[in-house]
Structure 1
């Protein structure tokens, strides 16, 4: 296994500021006020914040989500035997790992969703969501390159987001409510995919092909 490369100075500063800012973000939201307070707690300055997050709080939020994706992938690789699981179990595991790692920062996640919901941040929010579900599918071993590539990511986006909203207010033991909801949503999606597969099989069924041929309009001479 290759040795882990050292963190570059900018990323290290971003991590330091973000970690120190998370308690403030829970109250002040994803704002320069929260980042500057975090920087001060870490012995850094507002100039350091502007240097590593030139677009301000939205840059910090994107760093937060990207770091979570990387941590999820590392955890899945090192702590789970995904290859021994069914696809639906791999996806469920990835989603729960992604959510559990934010157990202490739910309010930061909630406020991040509010930021991404703003019209002027919608594009960045969609890219962030795509990056997350794409990472999940790659971790699950997905190698599709056709239209299914995009369909899978679109469906998982819906499953992931709806599950996240349940997770935000889940106070059950070991996130049992979230996990149960997630499995129901995945089952719903799997059922839809089965129906689509049956529909594709039907269109290729010989009698159906004959029916289509007979039903096709004939040209008038």
Structure 2
């Protein structure tokens, strides 16, 4: 698939990753990346107006791209849908090749003025998983699925950061448990729908939820004169 970053950002990001373990996603790291790549500072700041924050965002989205690429390449036809979701979360974590960069990024996006950016990135990961797996929800379930999976992914990453088990086996078991919890909620919702008494009580909520629609999307296309904007 076509990467969502441009060559300059990729070059700066690769250079920055050498400094992140020592200086975090900081101004010092951004300046070091500019120096190491011999990039004109004005051009670098134009590509990344927020400096290392933009590089941290690009790092996360690079991992998303790797996950999607692997999801499309793997044969998951024999798996149940819940297992496909669990595999996607695992693929996303396995796409990370710099654990300290994620640890530093977690601290960065925990800062109050960047919390919205962090939440948007996690939501974006969950959205890509559902889209790639062929989700067709077009009502309130579009939102609830992504909100729930965002929680699963975020908690799984935090667990993984502290996991010292062999081959991350403890993390994969944690992911499976979280997905099972989510599927338990879906089964409960299904039972309510088939219960003649409870279904009547929840009918107004079901009706209201059916009127909610997902946001309009601009398709990702790789054609001349198409621009999706900076991160």
TM over 0.5: yes
CA separation of 1:206 and 1:187: change in aligned 2, threshold 3 A: closer
Q: Which has the higher contact order (CA 8 A, sep 6+)?
A: 2
- What is the CA deviation profile of residues 138-190 of structure 1, one whole-angstrom value per residue up to 9, with x for unaligned ones? 12221111111111111101111111111112122221010001001111111
What is the aligned-residue RMSD (CA, Å)? 2.3
1:56 to 51, 62, 69: 51
Q: For the residues of structure 2 that align with 1:172 and 1:45, how far apart are their CA atoms?
A: 44
- For 2:35, the equivalent position in structure 1 comes to 40
Name structure 2 gaps, 5 residues minimum. 201-231
Map 1:29-178 onto structure 2 (within 5 A).
29-78=24-73, 80-102=74-96, 104-178=97-171
Q: For the residues of structure 2 that align with 1:76 and 1:35, how far apart are their CA atoms?
A: 32
Q: For the residues of structure 1 that align with 2:13 and 2:177, how far apart are their CA atoms?
A: 34
Write 1 or 2 for the structure with the bigger share of helix: 1
CA separation of 1:208 and 1:19: change in aligned 2, threshold 3 A: closer
Q: Which has the larger radius of gyration?
A: 1
Give the structure-1-normalised TM-score.
Answer: 0.83
Give the structure-2-normalised TM-score.
Answer: 0.79
Deviation, structure 1 residue 206: 6.6
Q: How many correspondences in the alignment? A: 201
Q: For the residues of structure 2 that align with 1:42 and 1:30, how far apart are their CA atoms?
A: 17
Name structure 1 gaps, 5 residues minimum. 210-221
- For 1:23, the equivalent position in structure 2 comes to 18
Q: Is the 8 A contact 1:29 1:111 kept in 2?
A: yes
Deviation, structure 1 residue 47: 3.4
